[in-house]
Amino acid sequence: MKKFRESWQRSDSMLCVGLDPVPERFPASIGTTGSAIREFNREIIQATSSLACAYKPNLGFYLPYGVEGIEALLALREDVPADIPLLLDAKVGDIDSTSEAYARAYFDEWGFDGVTAQAYLGHDSLLPLMSRADRSVFILAKTSNPGSGFLQDVQVDGEPVSERVASAAVEWNAHGNLGLVVGATYPEQMKSIRTQVGDLPILVPGVGTQQGDLAAAVAAGLDSTGYGLLVNASRSISYASSGSDFAEAAHNVAKRLRDEIEDARLQAIPQMV
């Protein structure tokens, strides 16, 4: 998790830019084929790298394009500046032998700095991922989608599953490389989970297109250092314009969002004292 913490301080930003390519939404100048994904991503990265503390590609957006999609995903390691963490959103979690294969692929071979994972199968299912002490694992706790309460809000021994997962992450954090995923759409749960987990980093989806409450989520989620969040936005940045000015538009939206996050952070810090 060291790379993520260093990135907050260096960039003075908690903005995480999602890289979720949809070629049908690319400008005509880029094209709409799988081979256009790398070019599109590169433009977005160049336009936003001065504003981002991390980038988060979602595996699902690359798989439909087969080899071309995977090649574009792997190219991110070359195109994202080396000091900016690259977090693969794959939501992995399987029996230990399968998770070991995921760890080898995503960390050892593909070079991602972190991955998202789910704890449904328990501690042993995540151990191969967590054992890579120099890589980070963000475990789903309270996701941003409307249907998340189906299991995440169910009470087990007097606490919701989302908070039980958060407590488990603290217990499992032997290498100091675990974080959580908590949506901006649920700031009250964010506040409760932050109280439980101390300074564990939290990935925050749900800002932008999902219209999560940014100020409330930041106020609820800051750690004791006044940082601790990766506030993710994907579509609202990448598709800010469908014209030839798409990169400039992405930069402008990213800057505005970075500034809004920073304003919310500075407003929340005095309330933490």
Instruction: Give the catalytic positions in this structure.
Output: 91
On the CB side of 269, CA atoms within 13 Å amount to 9
Reference 13, options 230, 238, 253; nearest CA is 230
Neighbours of 77 (CB within 10 A): 13
Whole-angstrom distance, CA of residue 5 vs CA of residue 228: 8
Phi, psi of 92 (to 5 degrees): -80, 165
257 to 52, 127, 209, 237, 254: CA distances (angstroms) = 10, 35, 12, 9, 5
The counts of H helices and E strands in the chain are: 11, 10
Cα torsion angle, 204, 119, 162, 143, sign: positive
| Helix, coil or strand: residue 227 | coil
C-alpha distances in Å from residue 8, one per residue of 18, 33, 132, 249, 261? 16, 35, 22, 24, 12
Reference 103, options 119, 122, 114; nearest CA is: 114
